[in-house]
Amino acid sequence: MMAQNPLEVLRKYFGYGDFRENQLEIIEKVLNGEDAFVLMPTGSGKSICYQIPAILCRGMGIIISPLIALMEDQVKALQQNGVKAAYLNSTLSFQEGRNIQRRAATGNLDVLYVAPERLLTGDFQQFLGHVDIGLFAIDEAHCVSQWGHDFRPEYLRINEVTRRFPHTPRIALTATADVVTQKDILDKLDLRRAKVFISSFDRPNIQYHVQVKNRDKHQLLDFIRSKHPEGSGIVYARTRKRTESIAAWLCQQGVDAMPYHAGLPPEVRMENQKRFQEDLTRVIVATIAFGMGIDKPDVRFVAHVDLPASMEAYYQETGRAGRDGLPADAWMVYSISDVTALRRLFELSQGSDEFKNILRQKLDALLGYCESTVCRRKLILNYFGETHAGACNTCDNCLNPIETWDGTIAAQKALSCVYRTGERFGAGYLISVLMGEHTLRIQQWRHDRIKTFGVGQDLDRTTWMSVFRQLLSAGLISVDMGQISGFRLTDDSWKVLRGEKEVWFRKDEHKTKERVKKQSPPKMDTFKNESAQVLFSALRKLRLDISNHLNIPPYIVFNDRTLREMAMVKPKNIHEFVMINGVGEIKAERYADIFLACVRGEEVDVKAFFKR
């Protein structure tokens, strides 16, 4: 029977019984011919908001997406669900592209994904004039804003195309945008009359952990071994060289890892990504700038070994963990050198002073998040304009409250040293002066004769580094990236030096085994009865065999959450099978026989099954 309404489509093609927050209202708004702007966190079901209207409306949905890998993932998933979907991008041959355009022209496509570069070509715009278009969806809409974390100039020209179809509804979607970026999106895409939908940014299944960087590779390895000895994860690093060195080092330590960055040959990059998607590689190490355009729901952790540039980037990247709703971790280490490196990049950019100032403010907000002693979930949600009482009891600050200490005198010593050395040196040199080290460089500058030389011997070098890092975070010193780089005093610095302002620092801690154990989330493979555990393993093995046979990622067959429910419910027939969350009518018709046989404990032959 033909699905007639959004709920029927949801159940038939996607296998879900109910809509999530805002989804149905968004779908109805678009089906009514109206524009919509959707701000919805990763893993909350943004794609359903345009895929279901595209299936139901008269005409084809044109989905504009900047990530080739992501569009290919989503098309494969839609095709597995029985939806007539395709994509047009640079990976296709000329003839393959023509065949897809012919399918669209004959009304044999519901959903067509295109990159913004393809959308803007004359050939594609001519093609659009000969097909029936039901809607335009602009995914990753933050790419249109220079204030966002992933600006793409091609997005500024999307209106050149969509304005030619004034009666076609448009829906713009993003997972991350602060108030400034939201306004920019609405202005740049001419969506000022669009209905705005903002869902909760809370990802309660993600645990947030932040540490000061100290032998980062070893910290990363300890985290993976203690919390995710088997689960898959993404590690983000700032440079291409770092991704390759970290991936190689993890492999040497027995953790299967591969690099992923724009400098790799395309075939190598795509092969590494494919292996990660198909669970043949457990960890992918990627550059922050290039990102990972994948739809893999069972990523159990996202780790940052270098500081991202903003809270938006951090939220977007950590949001790739736990898209299936099961427990996951967002783990990060940071240092003062991360901050100075990013600020140096900002100063070298070609942007205006206003643009650079916004970048500095965004970085300051992220640094404040790192240094804070309060609930991390509260800070994240507050940043995006959502209130939260705090005490989530899952982040590191809630599970292990941070001690603080009165650092007023230490701050005065540090600030005095910055001033007396001419406001031109970084933390390493200043600490050497405070510690009273008779280095050749200090003697050449004659800084062994100033009053602050040797006044800091009551603290060790690690603690002084923490002092400078937290002074920077609190705005009590600034970084100048001009010809003479180094720390500078601020207006607030003088309040501290005059004794008008107290300074309290957080006490840095190194994680102990006890602390790690306390923060460990529930294991993914724990079941209340052993038979369900055994069946879950068998279902995962069957899923892998099917995915290999069909040459698709395992999660496109079924995700872990669906298999877990299958293992616990143990459906006896197709009617019970279709009621499993994430199955749906189309997948039930395709896979019920072989999965039900597995549930009954029978031997299954994947090749023979698909030859029937």
3-class SS at 228?
coil
Q: What is the pLDDT of residue 1?
A: 37
Q: What is the pLDDT of residue 149?
A: 66
Q: What is the pLDDT of residue 539?
A: 96
Above pLDDT 90, what percent of the chain? 65
CA 163 to chain CA centroid, nearest Å: 31
Q: What is the pLDDT of residue 53?
A: 97
Count of other CB atoms within 10 angstroms of residue 104: 23
pLDDT at 520 over 70: no
Name the pLDDT band for 148 (thresholds 50, 70, 90): low
Strand 195-198 with 206-212, pairing = unpaired
Average the pLDDT over 156-168 and give the result: 94
- How far, in Å, are 38, 87, 101, 320 from residue 64 at the CA level? 15, 10, 16, 20
pLDDT at 515 over 50: no
Phi and psi of 262, rounded to 5°? -70, -20
DSSP letter assigned to residue 521: P
Q: Cβ-count burial of 226 within 10 angstroms (0-12 exposed, 13-18 middle, 19+ buried)?
A: middle
Q: What is the pLDDT of residue 2?
A: 45
What digits encode the pLDDT tens for the residues 15-56? 998 999 999 999 999 999 999 999 998 878 899 999 999 999
pLDDT at 62 over 60: yes
Q: What is the mean pLDDT of the chain?
A: 89
Q: What b/e readout covers 520-544, taking b as 16+ CB neighbours within 10 angstroms? A: ebeebeeeeeeebeebbebbbebbb
- Taking phi over 0 as left and psi of -120 to 50 as alpha, with beta for the rest, 484 belongs to beta
pLDDT at 519 over 70: no
Q: What is the pLDDT of residue 602?
A: 93
What digits encode the pLDDT tens for the residues 222-255? 999 999 998 899 999 999 999 999 999 999 999 9
Q: Are 477 and 487 in contact (CB under 8 A)?
A: yes
What digits encode the pLDDT tens for the residues 540-575? 999 999 999 998 889 999 999 999 999 999 999 999
Q: Cβ-count burial of 151 within 10 angstroms (0-12 exposed, 13-18 middle, 19+ buried)?
A: middle
Place of tokens 């459906």: 571
Q: Are 8 and 581 in contact (CB under 8 A)?
A: no
Distance separating alpha carbons of residues 283 and 298, to the nearest angstrom:
12
Name the pLDDT band for 187 (thresholds 50, 70, 90): very high
Q: Are 50 and 18 in contact (CB under 8 A)?
A: no
Distance separating alpha carbons of residues 362 and 181, to the nearest angstrom:
12
Average the pLDDT over 163-190 and give the result: 91
- What is the radius of gyration, based on Cα positions, of the chain? 27
Average the pLDDT over 504-522 and give the result: 56
Q: What is the pLDDT of residue 341?
A: 85
- How far, in Å, are 208, 239, 353, 482 from residue 200 at the CA level? 17, 32, 33, 41
Place of tokens 């895929």: 51
Distance separating alpha carbons of residues 505 and 524, to the nearest angstrom:
37
Q: What is the pLDDT of residue 81?
A: 93
pLDDT at 360 over 90: no
Residue type, 188: K
Cα atoms in the 13 Å half-sphere on the side-chain side of 78: 24
Average the pLDDT over 404-414 and give the result: 95
Q: What is the pTM of this model?
A: 0.79
Q: What is the pLDDT of residue 530?
A: 86
Q: What is the pLDDT of residue 518?
A: 43
Q: What is the pLDDT of residue 516?
A: 42
Distance separating alpha carbons of residues 131 and 165, to the nearest angstrom:
12
Written as six digits, the tokens of 91 are 């990976």
Q: Are 359 and 148 in contact (CB under 8 A)?
A: no
Q: What is the pLDDT of residue 292?
A: 56
- Among the residue ranges 31-40, 104-113, 257-266, 479-488, the one predicted with the least confidence is 479-488
Q: What is the pLDDT of residue 509?
A: 67
Q: What is the pLDDT of residue 262?
A: 85
3-class SS at 222?
helix
pLDDT at 514 over 80: no
Average the pLDDT over 410-430 and give the result: 95
Place of tokens 């023979």: 608
